[in-house]
Structure 1
Amino acid sequence: MVNNLWLIKRPADFPEADMLEPEDMIVLIQDAVLRVPTIENWVACKEDAVARNIKIPENKLMDYEDIIDLIEKANTVIVW
């Protein structure tokens, strides 16, 4: 289960590591796919990475449908 789901839209907008809890997850969308976070719990929007020709490991990619499922299951959604 995801406690806080962080939707990050810009590469400069990552939350500080001390703001995150172990059950939190970061989802990179739009231009945020240009910068990979240093934490473990993150994924990137596949469509946004492909549109920007960014190479991200396949196990770290999710399509919009999967991201919507995460949003529905998360306790809190934070758009940053």
Structure 2
Amino acid sequence: MMRTSYLAAIAAVVPVALGGCVDYPQKYQWSEAKVVEAGWLKPRAQAVRPTYCYRTIGSPECYAWPLDNQGTRLVGYTGPSPN
């Protein structure tokens, strides 16, 4: 009888005690952002968004994709080659 009451008390206390640990990982454990901020690692390289700029009468116009049959007007690009 006593053993059952001890088990019931432990079963009631353990979830409450562990509930206080829910916030712990976000606050105190290392994350990638904290390691980079501390200077231990360099930040990840950001992906370059492709840009293709073409000559016009005015200033160059840039697009996120290469234009068909406009290779002679191409002024510059970043990302993969338009060819």
Asked if Structure 1 and Structure 2 have the same fold, meaning a TM-score greater than 0.5 normalized by the shorter chain, the answer is no
TM-score, length-scaled by structure 1: 0.21
Larger radius of gyration: 2
TM-score, length-scaled by structure 2: 0.21
Greater relative contact order (Cα < 8 A, sep 6+): 1
Q: Which has the higher strand share?
A: 1
